[in-house]
């Protein structure tokens, strides 16, 4: 078995050499970078098994590096190194997709322990994802949370199109759950015994996307050491889910159109066509018709994809589902971490229902996870929720004046005291309070507090 490949990014050359030596002595293939920009430009999806990056670096910091790597390859595990670990920094890193945090100074044994955990966790995730996809008939509409009329109408359409072997285009804003609907179609269709294969067309560069979809023959290009099956062929008999199809390059659009017309394609470097039977479900958060008019998306491919259209309403149009979805995510977090949070407090529940949720279900999930990281009570309080979303101006309802006034008085005194003790340093106030700086500035403006008034 080939050794796991690890990328190290740290501007301290001595630390890089130490980590290289420890990891290579334990059988890992390692390459280190002292320039984060050089590392990011060198990174290619599918090349590395793990990345270890410092947070404080010149040029671009580790959080920016993390974000860029996750945009290129969402599944890559990243361990962040810091000498100044804070709750706020940890939350930022974890919310951006970091797997783990490693605080300087650390011993070689701790480094090896974190590396093994990250690699094992990523392998288990891949195996579990594969297993879930191949468990025929186990997916049902119960996985989709909500009872609003808009969601019920959508699921009624899903049930009807699932049994008909036709192309489906799922539209909706980012974070509305388009892949979940695609899975519901597949696992309630006659193809349920075969594979459901998903690819995000916007997450891979053009050259890699083409080879991922269609595969290649040995020697087709530099690095093609053996024949490789593409995702279309891997989904033979089942369903291929193409997410964010608005990002498909024109040459890949042309090849996909030919495949949809002929049901066959050429692997890169092959002269013999491969024939497969695949149902295509596609999804986009962009206006494809506008892309067609601009000439960036083929009109003939658009109509091939859009035989049946399913539109997912944003969360703000199904507000009655917000408490149900929040409760679902709270239950999942309790199960995973052994916590016993009962739910949102009444005030927090009303604030959550009033919020617009521009990031939709994905944003709600992330906010619930962040709140449960900080919450020490039996329910998620309004004050905890307010650290992650805007809660000002929502109607708390009759009988809540005392609570609201008490919360405001507490926040005013608390912030005034922190400002005095920290000499008006907003960064320090945010760190001690466990808030981000934007939240602190917003609250100062809300209560009319000024640094000069309290020093």
CA neighbor of 24 nearest in space, from 117, 120, 115:
115
Which tokens is 210 given? Answer: 């083409």
Tell how strand 78-82 and strand 50-54 pair up. Answer: parallel
* Same domain (yes/no): 238, 323: no
* Same domain (yes/no): 211, 263: yes
Return the H-helix or E-strand segment holding 120: helix 108-134
By residue count, the chain amounts to 455
Give residue 405's pLDDT band: very low, low, confident or very high (50, 70, 90): low
Structure letter (DSSP) for residue 294: H
CB 312 within 8 A of CB 170: yes
CB 9 within 8 A of CB 66: no
Among 279, 313, 347, the domain boundary falls at 313
Quote the number of domains for the chain. 3
Within a domain: 136: no
Q: What is the mean pLDDT of residues 358-364?
A: 93
Planar angle of CA 333, 336, 337, nearest 5 degrees: 85
* Same domain (yes/no): 178, 102: no
Give residue 191's pLDDT band: very low, low, confident or very high (50, 70, 90): very high
Q: What are the residues facing 281 on neighbouring strands?
A: 168, 241
What local confidence, expressed as pLDDT, does residue 452 receive?
63
What local confidence, expressed as pLDDT, does residue 7 receive?
96
Planar angle of CA 161, 166, 172, nearest 5 degrees: 65
Q: Strands (DSSP E) along 335-443, which ranges?
A: 343-344, 379-380
Within a domain: 396: yes
7, 209, 227, 252, 311 from 299: Cα distances, Å? 42, 21, 33, 14, 19
Structure letter (DSSP) for residue 143: G
What local confidence, expressed as pLDDT, does residue 86 receive?
64
Among 131, 154, 188, the domain boundary falls at 131
* Same domain (yes/no): 119, 145: no
Q: What is the mean pLDDT of residues 420-440?
A: 78
What local confidence, expressed as pLDDT, does residue 413 receive?
74
* Same domain (yes/no): 198, 238: yes
DSSP 321-358: GHHHHHHHHHHHHHHHH-----EE-HHHHHHHHHS--T
Domain containing 26 equals 5-131
What local confidence, expressed as pLDDT, does residue 125 receive?
66
Q: What is the mean pLDDT of residues 136-156?
A: 71
**Least confident piece of the model among 313-317, 407-411, 426-430:** 407-411
What local confidence, expressed as pLDDT, does residue 448 receive?
78
CB 115 within 8 A of CB 50: yes
**Least confident piece of the model among 128-132, 160-164, 173-177, 435-439:** 128-132
Tell how strand 274-275 and strand 264-265 pair up. Answer: antiparallel
Question: What percentage of residues in the chain have a pLDDT greater than 90?
Answer: 42
* Same domain (yes/no): 164, 232: yes
Burial of 108: CB neighbours in 10 Å, binned 0-12, 13-18, 19+: middle
CA–CA gap between residue 402 and residue 383 (Å, rounded) = 15
**Least confident piece of the model among 127-141, 162-176, 228-242, 326-340:** 127-141
CA–CA gap between residue 405 and residue 18 (Å, rounded) = 55
CA–CA gap between residue 107 and residue 109 (Å, rounded) = 5
Q: Is the pLDDT of residue 205 over 90?
A: no
Q: Is the pLDDT of residue 455 over 60?
A: no
| CATH code, domain with 266 | 3.40.50.300
Within a domain: 151: yes
Q: What is the mean pLDDT of residues 396-418?
A: 61
Q: What is the mean pLDDT of residues 191-198?
A: 91
Which tokens is 291 given? Answer: 């892309």
Which tokens is 60 given? Answer: 């671009």
Within a domain: 386: yes
What local confidence, expressed as pLDDT, does residue 27 receive?
92
pLDDT in tens, 283-323: 999 899 999 999 999 999 999 999 999 999 999 999 888 98
Within a domain: 299: yes
* Same domain (yes/no): 268, 232: yes
pLDDT in tens, 77-123: 999 998 775 667 777 787 788 888 888 888 888 899 889 888 887 77
Q: What is the mean pLDDT of residues 31-40?
A: 93
Q: What is the mean pLDDT of residues 381-396?
A: 78
* Same domain (yes/no): 308, 321: no
Q: Is the pLDDT of residue 403 over 70?
A: no
CA neighbor of 79 nearest in space, from 105, 97, 56:
97
| CATH code, domain with 74 | 3.40.50.2300
4, 45, 69, 188, 327 from 74: Cα distances, Å? 18, 9, 7, 28, 26
* Same domain (yes/no): 106, 197: no
Among 272, 293, 313, the domain boundary falls at 313
* Same domain (yes/no): 283, 358: no
Q: Is the pLDDT of residue 357 over 90?
A: yes
| CATH code, domain with 364 | 1.10.8.60
* Same domain (yes/no): 88, 179: no
Q: What is the mean pLDDT of residues 142-164?
A: 85
Within a domain: 384: yes
């Amino acid at each position: 078995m080939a050794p796991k490949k690890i990328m190290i990014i740290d501007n301290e050359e001595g630390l890089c050499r130490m980590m290289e030596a420890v990891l290579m002595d334990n059988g890992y293939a390692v390459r280190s970078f002292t320039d984060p920009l050089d590392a990011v430009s060198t990174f290619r999806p599918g090349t590395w098994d793990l990345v270890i990056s410092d947070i404080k670096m010149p040029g671009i910091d580790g959080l920016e590096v993390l974000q860029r790597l996750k945009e290129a390859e969402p599944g890559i595990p990243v361990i962040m190194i810091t000498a100044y670990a804070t709750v706020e920094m940890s939350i930022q890193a974890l919310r951006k997709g970091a797997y783990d945090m490693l605080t300087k100074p650390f011993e070689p044994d701790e480094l090896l322990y974190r590396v093994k955990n990250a690699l094992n966790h990523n392998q288990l995730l891949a195996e579990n994802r594969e297993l879930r996809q191949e468990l025929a008939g186990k997916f049902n509409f119960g996985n989709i949370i909500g009872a609003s009329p808009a969601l019920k109408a959508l699921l009624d359409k899903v049930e009807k199109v699932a049994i008909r072997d036709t192309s489906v285009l799922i539209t909706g804003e980012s974070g509305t759950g388009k892949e979940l609907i695609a899975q519901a179609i597949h696992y309630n269709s006659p193809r349920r015994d075969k594979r459901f294969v998903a690819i995000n067309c916007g997450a891979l560069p053009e050259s890699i996307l083409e080879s991922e979809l269609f595969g290649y023959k040995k020697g087709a290009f530099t690095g093609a050491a053996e024949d490789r099956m593409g995702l279309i062929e891997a989904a033979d008999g089942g369903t291929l889910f193409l997410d964010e199809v608005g990002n498909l390059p024109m040459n890949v659009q042309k090849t996909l159109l030919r495949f949809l017309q002929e049901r066959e394609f050429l692997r890169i470097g092959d002269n013999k066509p491969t024939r497969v039977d695949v149902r295509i479900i596609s999804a986009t958060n962009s206006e494809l018709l506008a892309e067609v008019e601009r000439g960036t998306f083929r009109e003939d491919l658009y109509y091939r994809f859009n035989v049946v259209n399913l539109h997912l309403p944003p969360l703000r149009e199904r507000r009655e589902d917000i408490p149900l979805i929040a409760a679902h995510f709270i239950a999942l977090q309790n199960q995973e971490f052994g916590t016993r949070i009962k739910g949102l407090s009444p005030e927090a529940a009303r604030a959550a229902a009033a919020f617009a949720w521009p990031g939709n279900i994905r944003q709600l999930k992330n906010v619930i996870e962040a709140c449960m990281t900080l919450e020490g009570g039996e329910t998620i309080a309004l004050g905890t929720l307010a650290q992650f979303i805007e809660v000002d101006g929502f109607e708390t309802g009759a009988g809540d004046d005392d609570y609201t006034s008490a919360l405001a008085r507490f926040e005013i005194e608390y912030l005034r005291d922190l400002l005095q003790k920290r000499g008006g340093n907003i960064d320090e106030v945010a760190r001690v309070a466990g808030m981000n700086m934007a939240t602190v500035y917003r609250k100062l403006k809300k209560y009319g507090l000024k640094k000069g008034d309290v020093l």
